[in-house]
Amino acid sequence: MRASGFAPYAAADTSQPTGLPNAEKPEPSPQIKLPPALVPSEESLVALRRNAQGNIDIQASLHALGIADPKMLWRKRVDPGSAEHALKKEIARALGKRETVPGITRQDIGLSN
């Protein structure tokens, strides 16, 4: 026997129940209500439109989200992870690569020529 009193092949004692027999069961946790800022809007639930290459189609996505002018989207604060946020990133990516996006210019989003 080892000095610690541990017997390597001894059977575990399972004669006692692990829980308390008369203990009260815990109440289920209440449903957590998210603040309105964390609940996605209906516009965010609309899937962004994609072209044949799998890239976001900016014009079709603007139309699907009901946004007439991309400058208005750019000025608006959007929630991270929303469809609007992804669309803003796509517009910035396109303009950063010097592609044209109808209705908005590099200067409108703060990029230099």
How confident is the model over 39-52, as pLDDT tens digits?
555 555 557 888 88
Global model pTM greater than 0.85: no
Looking at the DSSP bridge assignments, the partners of residue 50 are 56
Residues above pLDDT 90, as percent of the chain: 33
Query: Among candidates 104, 22, 18, 6, which has minimal Cα distance to 58?
Result: 104
pLDDT at 36: 56
DSSP 61-111: HHHHTT-S-HHHHHHS---TTSHHHHHHHHHHHHHHTT--BTTB-TGGGT-
Rounded CA-CA distance 89/77 in Å is 13
Q: Which pair of tokens denotes residue 32?
A: 């957590």
